[in-house]
Amino acid sequence: MRLVAAVLIIVAAGLGGLVGYSWSRNPELGAVEHASAVGFTLANPMSTRAWRGLACPHRSIITNLSVQALGPALCGTDTDGGAATRAERFRVQGPTSCWALYEMLSRQNAERFAGVLAGREAAGPAVAELCEKARRLITG
């Protein structure tokens, strides 16, 4: 029983440390975003991009850019509001952790909405919410 308790304490301390690290890199984000980032990283433990993405100091900006970039394909907007160009600047000039996060989020969104993008599925509430956010970000 002591071994189980010790393991649980170590796991809880490790998770707390990861959330704390994420929080120190992005203090303006809420706890849900930090937990989501840690959860995604732990769900993909062999992905170096997921671990590097956890260290991105501009997570909220990168998250918004990935949503905007998906706007034309998923929501039918005329433009992405320059999101792809701004994201490309992170690849060239910014921290590599932020470019890794952008690629990871873009791939995750493409996989998540693959059926809708291909026209095999109807758009649901998640698509409507994402499109509303994309439109707000694109129009400023």
Q: What is the pLDDT of residues 49-108, one digit of tens each?
A: 777 777 788 888 888 899 899 888 888 888 888 888 888 888 888 787 888 888 888 888
Helix (H) or strand (E) holding 58: none
Residue 12 CA to residue 16 CA, distance in Å, equals: 6
Residue 111 CA to residue 49 CA, distance in Å, equals: 16
pTM > 0.85: yes or no? no
116 pLDDT above the threshold of 80: yes
Q: Which residue has the tokens 């991009």?
A: 49
Q: What is the pLDDT of residues 11-38, one digit of tens each?
A: 888 888 888 888 887 787 777 777 777 8
The encoded tokens of residue 41 equal 């990283």
Dihedral sign for Cα 75, 114, 62, 133, please: positive
What integer pLDDT is reported at residue 9 of this predicted model?
A: 92
pLDDT band at 10 (very low <50, low <70, confident <90, very high): very high
